[in-house]
A and B are shown apart, each in its own frame.
Chain A
Amino acid sequence: MSGLRRAAAELLLGELRAHPWPALVGVLAIAIGVAMGYAVQLINQAALAEFSRTVNSLMGNADIEIRGPRTGFAESLYPRIARLSDVVVASPVVEAEAWVPQHKQALKLVGIDVFQAAQVTPGLIGRPSSPRLANLDLLGTDTVFLSPTALASLDLKPGDALTVQVGLRPVTLRIAGALPALGEGLHLGVMDIGAAQWRLDRLGHLQRIDVRLRPGVDAAAFAETLNAQLPAGVIASTPQDTRQGTASLSRAYRVNLNVLALVALFTGAFLVFSSQALSVLRRRSQLALLRALGVTRSGLLRLVLTEGALFGALGALLGLALGYVLAALVLRYAGGDLGGGYFDGVRPTVHFDAESALLFFALGLSAAVLGSAAPAGEAARAQPARALKAGDEEAALAKLRPPWSGLVVVAIGMALTQAGPVSGLPVFGYLAIALLLVGAIMLMPWLAHSVFSRLPASQRAVFHLAYARLAGAPGRAAIGLAGILASFSLMAAMVIMVASFRQSVDDWLQAILPAQLYLRASPGGDAGYFSEAAQRIIASTPGVARAEFSRVSQVLLDARRPPVTLIARQIDARQPGRRLPLVGAALTLVPGDPPAVWVSEAMVDLYGFRTGRLIALPLAGRSVTFVVAGVWRDYARQYGTVALSRDDYRALTGDTHVSDAALWLAPGAGPAQIAERLRHRLAGGDNVQYVQPGEIHVASMKIFDRSFAITYLLETVAVLVGVFGIGASFSAQALARSREFGVLRHLGVTRRQIGAMLALEGALLALLGVTAGLGLGWCIALILIQVVNPQSFHWTMSVHMPWLLLVQLAAALVVAAALTALASGRRAMSAGAVHAVREDW
């Protein structure tokens, strides 16, 4: 038996030596799939690890964290907390994101009480550069300690001055030392809390209190009881909750990327499947010979599976190496958020991770083994006597023809699109896409048969031969078809989804930017603002016909979720659609109604804020009842935005500061001219950011394109995999067809005619593939647009078909298929007609 096995192994090895290309292509395909998946995983892990390190060092060893709105809560809460009997230490914190005009970047500034913080967040205690003044510097009113990363990125050193913008004023601080305990990756500065409140215009307010509890006190239970007593909008939570909140910041995005990686892996797996299937088919008579020579069914199965496993292992190993390199390159050049803008100020590096390496190795391996299993099973079951004969593999493939199982899979996929999200993720949406894909692939033998058997008869030899081949071997055609379908449908889906999204964002930007000039108190951070005096000056500037001001801040509604953005702006309650891109009908308010808010789509999904409902919002430490008067589309913030009238906001909070202004200009006044005028009239007018809607538009679209760059990359990979697949299936077939070409040459068919025949076959196959792929891609795009996007990002969009691009891509794929078919045929013909007919089929 062992001799027989050796003989069998030698036969397979000989085959590999004779035709290494299909095997190599299969191995590469798996490698690409595994590499993409692993790389995305590594990048995510690196970014997340860095991010949670940030969170950890900021929170230190606090048991409880008390947070409120971005504008802070009254500091009178602090002594109440500190006096609680279970509290050992309470460390008050002031936070601001201040703009550093000189370096055009925002810097997080944290104000701490050194004596309290030393026991909770020791990492935030600065190390003064001059020991003599150490204690004075730690408590200084103009001193700041910068993290090593901040020092490096601002190119400053202890002793230098740091100027930040507060309101419209410059505030100059002295760098008194560093924060060596923070290590790499954190971009922040620490000040004394009193100094921070004073210098950063945060008098009387705190952003956070870090609390350490008496040993043995249950933090979660403590937080729960405390929450009942805290002012509205101020929430006590455990570090785990906070971490969950920060992790959920980018979760949907990361899941999306992972799914894209899985798509790459899937197409890779499919490629392996088809190349294994083709190679087993091609060797069907050899395998039958082995059976005839006495290799048992299970022996044969083992043999082919071993081969598949070897290819899979090889490809997966290669893929892991490739993925690691890819991840390192991406982190080096694009950052951890892959252009998504989620992890600002975090600079992660890649670390090898055995666990996910093992996972992706296993995925790649099983894809290859599964790919071999089906054809191997068929080969083992086949009657050796029949299988030894030429043409019998078509009979074997014909068994795959009935469409019913494929239709059932597609139907299940369709049904799953109706299911809701699972803990905030569109699990069923993705599953539906996978099922649709698999079902459609299962339908390919049926499609190939029904379409190709209807090809018209032709008297042109080339057409006749190509048609006859496609009609006579639909099973083989179906394998190539499935590859094209898989790659083109995914490509088309992505293209349609991105184009729809892009167009919707474009329309949305038009709608939200009705004015001619926009002012922002500071280009970044949250420390800049326009005071009432500044607002009056702006509004009364000659050439300004109308000025609308808005206040953007954040409130915390749920400790486990990222904060919600609050926008107070001028909104005409009778015509909210003039300022907000409303989705659906708005509520008409009647006298006696509570004040109105208009919420973004995410608020409906995440907090159930439906039109007409009465909801409570924490404003200035009080819970205020509002009525939801309408829902609008907000592509800028996916965790929820609440817009309310500025008058209501001012009346409820007393907050008169604003962060943004929109200016309508008088006839004849130009935006540049007005900006220039404001620069002179406003104290600190140079610090204001003046932008025209066109610039915002361009910048926003640039950000959009950047955050989709990774999608384009993955898309390119899918296309490559697809073309790879066509190549693999054609070269596998061309090898098997060298005898056919030899006979045709004998019968007087020219080389050019054979080439034309192959190109025509490839083109027809690809044409059917892209046509089916376009249909499937459209369905997948609809799922992405109407299920996956709303469920993961909580926004809707309208469908836009980028026809020109789709047609171009389809044409490119058809041409690529024709050329690939031609090229692989050339190799088969190069063997020579004489040689080809000597062999048996």
Chain B
Amino acid sequence: MEAPPREAGQPVLSLTAISKAYRNGRARVVLRDISLTLTSGEYVAVMGESGVGKSTLLNLIAGLDRADGGRIVFAGQDLAELDDDAMTALRRSAMGFVFQAFHVLPHLSVEQNVALPLLLNGVGRAESAARVAAMLAAVGLAGFGASRPSELSGGELQRVAIARALIHHPPLVLADEPTGNLDPETAAQVLRLLRDRIKAVGAAGILVTHSALAAATADRTLLLTSKGLAPHAPASPIGV
């Protein structure tokens, strides 16, 4: 049950002059004048030094944190105008997340973990079961449905997380260092899978990573620095 690929080229997300500072004690500006437009079907990687604000940026896009200045428009809606419930509802239907630490819920089976977004979006039981089975097969976990997360390896857990992030065909997938906890071989597999699944549903995706190899799986790479977000020159093989 693949979703019909979305029409490519439609703007999904646009960030205009975003800024963000943390103030505990002294104010500390993390993001300054960040702009970005993402069209559906587009998969970008964001790189940058540790502590430069990559995760902060993703949190702002997810509506889990509020920007100090600028505008974020997602799926035609200005996030600043949404209250917490509306933002939550938007996240529920239109976003998927992949975390560095997997965060597969330990007390749910693999199946139940993957089905969670469908349940939250009110998809019927029969349809949900079929879609979960198909998705598990697609991420190479056919037969793992009834397993407990504690019985899975890191790579397998991240596949579960990817399945969960995409099962409800969100227009936007946010992945924060999804392979940070994995060995290079597994990481490569997971990255390939992530890209394939994002492309298969026609979603837009943002991949935050430290690894140029990982970034290379995206359509383009942006570099976040204290000065802003800029296209990143493809790294020379020697620089890897």
Interfacial residues, chain A to chain B (CB-CB below 8 A) = 386, 389-392, 394-395, 457, 459, 461, 464, 468-469, 472-473, 739-740, 742-743, 745-752, 832-834, 837-841
Q: Mark B91-107, 1 if CB is under 8 A from A, else 0.
A: 11101010101010111
Instruction: Report whether B122 and A750 are in contact in the complex, using a CB–CB cutoff of 8 Å.
Output: no
Shortest distance in angstroms between A666's beta carbon and chain B's nearest beta carbon?
79
Instruction: Report whether B107 and A748 are in contact in the complex, using a CB–CB cutoff of 8 Å.
Output: no
- Assuming A394-B106, A469-B107, A740-B105, is B64 touching A747 (CB within 8 A)? no
Instruction: Report whether A472 and B108 are in contact in the complex, using a CB–CB cutoff of 8 Å.
Output: yes
Cα A739 to Cα B119 with chains together (Å)? 20
CB of B235 within 8 Å of the partner chain = no
The residue on B at minimum CB distance from A746 is: B97
Shortest distance in angstroms between A370's beta carbon and chain B's nearest beta carbon?
28
Question: Residue B149 contacts which of A390, A739, A748, A751 (CB distance < 8 angstroms)?
Answer: A390
- Interface segment, one of B31-39, B81-89, B201-209, B212-220: B81-89
Q: Which residues of B contact A464 (CB under 8 A)?
A: 119
- Assuming A457-B125, A468-B107, is B101 touching A746 (CB within 8 A)? no
Shortest distance in angstroms between A369's beta carbon and chain B's nearest beta carbon?
30
CB of B148 within 8 Å of the partner chain = yes
Question: Residue B107 contacts which of A394, A752, A837 (CB distance < 8 angstroms)?
Answer: A394
Q: Which residues of A contact B125 (CB under 8 A)?
A: 457, 459
Q: Which residues of A contact B106 (CB under 8 A)?
A: 390-391, 394, 472, 841
Q: Which residues of B contact A739 (CB under 8 A)?
A: 103
Cα A749 to Cα B62 with chains together (Å)? 13
- Assuming A751-B84, A839-B101, is B59 touching A834 (CB within 8 A)? yes
Question: Residue B62 contacts which of A459, A746, A840 (CB distance < 8 angstroms)?
Answer: A746
Shortest distance in angstroms between A829's beta carbon and chain B's nearest beta carbon?
12
CB of B150 within 8 Å of the partner chain = yes
Q: Which residues of B contact A749 (CB under 8 A)?
A: 88, 92, 120
Extra contacts besides A386-B150, A461-B119 (18): CB < 8 Å: A391-B148, A394-B150, A468-B108, A473-B107, A740-B105, A743-B103, A746-B64, A748-B89, A748-B90, A748-B93, A749-B88, A749-B120, A750-B84, A833-B64, A837-B103, A838-B55, A840-B101, A841-B101
Q: Which residues of B contact A461 (CB under 8 A)?
A: 119-120
CB of B68 within 8 Å of the partner chain = no
Q: Identify which of B85, B88, B95, B164 gathers the most chain A CB atoms within 10 Å of its CB.
A: B88
Q: Which residues of B contact A742 (CB under 8 A)?
A: 103
Question: Residue B150 contacts which of A392, A468, A752, A839 (CB distance < 8 angstroms)?
Answer: A392
Cα A740 to Cα B92 with chains together (Å)? 15
Interfacial residues, chain B to chain A (CB-CB below 8 A) = 55, 59, 62, 64-65, 84-85, 88-93, 95, 97, 99, 101, 103, 105-109, 112, 116-117, 119-122, 124-125, 148-150, 164
- Assuming A745-B88, A834-B64, is B120 touching A391 (CB within 8 A)? no
Cα A38 to Cα B23 with chains together (Å)? 52
In the A-B complex, the 5 residue pairs with the closest CB atoms: A748-B92, A391-B106, A472-B107, A391-B150, A748-B91
Instruction: Report whether B149 and A391 are in contact in the complex, using a CB–CB cutoff of 8 Å.
Output: yes
Instruction: Report whether A459 and B119 are in contact in the complex, using a CB–CB cutoff of 8 Å.
Output: yes
Q: Which residues of A contact B85 (CB under 8 A)?
A: 750, 752
**Can you sample 28 A-B contacts with CB below 8 Å?**
A390-B106, A394-B107, A459-B122, A461-B119, A464-B119, A468-B108, A472-B112, A743-B103, A746-B91, A746-B97, A746-B99, A747-B91, A747-B97, A747-B116, A747-B117, A748-B92, A748-B95, A748-B121, A749-B88, A750-B84, A750-B88, A752-B85, A832-B64, A834-B64, A837-B101, A838-B55, A841-B101, A841-B106
Cα A392 to Cα B91 with chains together (Å)? 30
Q: Which residues of B contact A752 (CB under 8 A)?
A: 85
Q: Which residues of A contact B105 (CB under 8 A)?
A: 740, 743
Q: Which residues of B contact A748 (CB under 8 A)?
A: 88-93, 95, 117, 120-121
Instruction: Report whether A841 and B103 are in contact in the complex, using a CB–CB cutoff of 8 Å.
Output: yes
Shortest distance in angstroms between B205's beta carbon and chain A's nearest beta carbon?
16
Q: Which residues of A contact B55 (CB under 8 A)?
A: 838
Cα A188 to Cα B153 with chains together (Å)? 85
Q: Which residues of A contact B97 (CB under 8 A)?
A: 746-747
Q: Which residues of B contact A832 (CB under 8 A)?
A: 64
Q: Which residues of B contact A469 (CB under 8 A)?
A: 107
Cα A390 to Cα B113 with chains together (Å)? 14
Q: Which residues of A contact B99 (CB under 8 A)?
A: 743, 746, 837
Cα A464 to Cα B107 with chains together (Å)? 13
Shortest distance in angstroms between B220's beta carbon and chain A's nearest beta carbon?
25
The residue on A at minimum CB distance from B99 is: A837
The residue on B at minimum CB distance from A471 is: B107
Shortest distance in angstroms between A475's beta carbon and chain B's nearest beta carbon?
10
Q: Which residues of A contact B122 (CB under 8 A)?
A: 459
Cα A755 to Cα B116 with chains together (Å)? 17
The residue on A at minimum CB distance from B58 is: A834
Shortest distance in angstroms between A598's beta carbon and chain B's nearest beta carbon?
65
Shortest distance in angstroms between A445's beta carbon and chain B's nearest beta carbon?
15
Cα A740 to Cα B149 with chains together (Å)? 13
Q: Which residues of B contact A395 (CB under 8 A)?
A: 150
Cα A461 to Cα B105 with chains together (Å)? 15
Q: Which residues of A contact B90 (CB under 8 A)?
A: 748
Shortest distance in angstroms between A36's beta carbon and chain B's nearest beta carbon?
37
Q: Which residues of A contact B59 (CB under 8 A)?
A: 834
The residue on A at minimum CB distance from B101 is: A840
Instruction: Report whether B112 and A468 are in contact in the complex, using a CB–CB cutoff of 8 Å.
Output: yes
Cα A672 to Cα B225 with chains together (Å)? 100
Shortest distance in angstroms between B50's beta carbon and chain A's nearest beta carbon?
13
Cα A98 to Cα B112 with chains together (Å)? 81
